[in-house]
Chain A
């Protein structure tokens, strides 16, 4: 399950997922290996927050544990933080304002 070319602080939940989850809080500016590439975190990541494992095109499904949890609203690059600023529900408009989420 573990991607050896991805930092152990990131948990890859299922093969085929395009996001990984932080196992613990990771500080702003931390350099992480993500799918073999070196990425500098642009912001602190809390436990359970998500990061892109590869480039994701706008409109593409975000896949976690093999299930779609929404779609990218803009292009997301490998190593980008993934949350309500770049992902929207396919089910209903997010009930949480972006500012509250960030």
Chain B
């Protein structure tokens, strides 16, 4: 992959007008039965730009299909190899067509029709190798901050997360939105108690109503699952009310007006701040909405995120397939223990050696450096986690994306 460190952001332009900050080959399994073959195909090229994604389920699911369509045509993806067992329910022909229509090279290999494991791995590797060569020769174009989509998430949180890393990322979000980038925050289940305050930031009153409904849906969903929103341990940590607890997660959104609500796979129509509604619609089905952080990261990426800002206090180590993850460490002690895994030390705010603006600016500058080719810590360590499970969603309502006045 071309090393663009130290220069301005450049991107690979795709047929839909978006630009990628990476030029990867996605190797996508269409059922768990094809996962091993996919991993084996990608393994020799894992540092050269081959990333494994996929859906493990055998039964078809509209959400999973949309996610895979969006991920396989993500601007950071230049070519896609689809690995099918052969008898799974996934609509592979539609996925293949979607990728081909986007102008990307695509190859579909069914293991049952290609002589089994060994032969399919060989065919797959030959194809990936050829694609990587072609991708390396593709030209880049200058890329502006306004062309970026950035997502944010927190994981492995502790009492420092809401005090340092989350608000610092919120400040970076404000800088991004000022320069007309799209910024996406989520975790509606952790915004309970903040929705009235949040609704006041909506660009239209109708959107404000939708924001409240979105959080109410999350509250109902988690209540059904028996997931408590405020536990005695929170009070021991100095949190007095549910609003205060949610404020910690909410701080990731910064202070910009909220331009809209999107659902997984919806791409922000323009720059601005968006809430990603990750909680399924309808009755509780398929268990927990997001079984771990990477499920949400995959959804943020399916919405077009080029880069993910990940706040952690206890010390998460994950990265992601397809998009670089910037790790912002909230806790200075965790940073000292795990500096190799962390891109930014927001714990300095707690120690009094940096303020929120300084750390927010540092995160913003790092996003641009990563957009110019610099590898994040998790990228350098080879983290390429990916999770996609079953969900069901209704399309967003008309009030969720108000037109620009």
A13 & B238 in contact (Cβ 8 Å cutoff): no
In the bound complex, do residue A90 and residue B243 qualify as a contact, i.e. CB atoms below 8 Å apart? yes
| Chain B residues near A90 (CB-CB < 8 A) | 241, 243
- Given the interface contacts A13-B167, A68-B197, A96-B232, does A48 sit within 8 Å of B238 by beta carbon? yes
Chain B count of residues within 8 A CB distance of the other chain: 35
- Is A78 in contact with chain B by the CB < 8 A criterion? no
**Which residue of chain A lies nearest to B244 when distances are taken between CB atoms in the complex?**
A69
Stretch in contact with the other chain, from B272-280, B351-359, B387-395: B351-359
Q: A90-B241, A101-B240 are in contact. List 10 more A-B contacts (CB 8 A).
A: A47-B238, A48-B159, A48-B163, A67-B243, A69-B243, A70-B243, A83-B240, A87-B240, A89-B243, A94-B242
User: Using Cβ atoms and an 8 Å threshold, which residues of chain B touch A8?
Assistant: 352
Cβ contact within 8 Å between A100 and B159: no
| Distance from B128 Cβ to chain A, minimum over Cβ atoms (Å) | 47
A91 touches B163 (CB 8 A): no
The answer to whether B243 and A1 have CB atoms under 8 Å apart is: no
Tell me how far the C-beta of B106 lies from the nearest C-beta in chain A, rounded to whole angstroms. Answer: 47
Interface of A is mostly: loop
Question: Could you tell me which residues of chain B, from 122 to 154, have a CB within 8 Å of some CB in chain A?
Answer: none
Contact flags A59-102 to B (C-beta < 8 A → 1, else 0): 00010111111100000000000111001111110111000110
Q: Most chain-B CB neighbours within 10 Å: which of A2, A22, A89?
A: A89
How many A-B residue pairs have C-beta atoms within 8 angstroms? Tell me. 99
B214-258 CB mask vs A (1 if < 8 Å, else 0) is 000000000000000111101111111111100100110001000
Question: A interface vs B, CB < 8 Å?
Answer: 1-2, 8, 11, 13, 21-23, 46-50, 62, 64-70, 82-84, 87-92, 94-96, 100-101
Q: Interface of B with A (CB < 8 Å)?
A: 159-160, 163, 167, 192-194, 196-197, 229-232, 234-244, 247, 250-251, 255, 349-352, 355-357
- In the assembled complex, the CB of A48 is this many whole angstroms from the nearest CB of chain B, namely 4
Jot down 10 A-B pairs with beta carbons below 8 A, ordered by A.
A1-B356, A13-B167, A46-B236, A65-B247, A67-B197, A69-B244, A92-B193, A95-B230, A96-B234, A100-B232
